[in-house]
Copies of this chain bind each other. A is one copy, B any other.
Amino acid sequence: MPEHESPIVTVDIVLLTLEDEQLKVTLMERTKEPFAGRLALPGGYVHTNTDQNGDDAARRIMTTKLGFAPSHMEQLETISGPTRDPRGWSVSIVYVALISREALASHSAIPLHLYPVAALPELAFDHNKIVRRAVERLRSKGTYSTLPCHLLPARFSIPQMHHVFELVLGVPLNRTSFTRKVSEMGILELAGKEPAAGRGRTAAQYRLKEEVSFFHRPLGDGM
């Protein structure tokens, strides 16, 4: 064993959703020191007596604190250092979860507090930075990835999908190129038709194919 102190190891989760056309993050008020009374990301210590790995710790923490664990979580990165937590040299394995507002409402057993990522108060620890990093990742991956799809309801139209990508990326996207790109990606399947504006018109509804996930497969998963 090393001659120096062992670091503190925690897991923090950036749970993002879209509400009122804004990207929002779930925050909880801290009840204990350090930073008692300050808003923070849901998170907690790794429990070495029960957790099987970081993913498992993230699921346990979400279930304990929010009443459910999102089906899609991705490791964002691991943040560490001597000054980010007053209790000591600390490591935070950071996860990002994306969920539609609809799914969030149906799953969560406790009232959630959602805050627009564009106007956050000062959070506990370095959580403002962590949220910025998560949003950066979502935006940088957005044009090529399926990440923002996870903010959509289970069934959606292409115009809805286009709108969500525009909101997430914060830029207008050409509708025609977007539709072509989505079709090339081959990630959607037809889920039915819904009545649309205009007499007798319908809009095609889609859903993500089963295998479309952004979750990092855990190491044990068939490797």
Which residues on A are within 8 Å of B, measured CB to CB? 1-2, 4-9, 45-49, 51-54, 75, 77-82, 87-89, 91, 93, 126, 129, 132-133, 144, 216, 219, 223
Query: In the bound complex, do residue B9 and residue A91 qualify as a contact, i.e. CB atoms below 8 Å apart?
Result: yes
**B-side contacts of A8, CB under 8 Å:** 1, 6
Bound state CA distance, A214 and B187, in angstroms? 27
Bound state CA distance, A62 and B105, in angstroms? 47
A40 to chain B, nearest CB (A): 16
Query: Which of A46, A80, A93 has the largest count of B CB atoms less than 10 A from its CB?
Result: A80
Across the two chains, which residue of chain B brings its CB closest to A216? B77
> Given A6-B8, A7-B9, A129-B223, A78–B49 Cβ distance below 8 Å?
no
Bound state CA distance, A145 and B47, in angstroms? 37
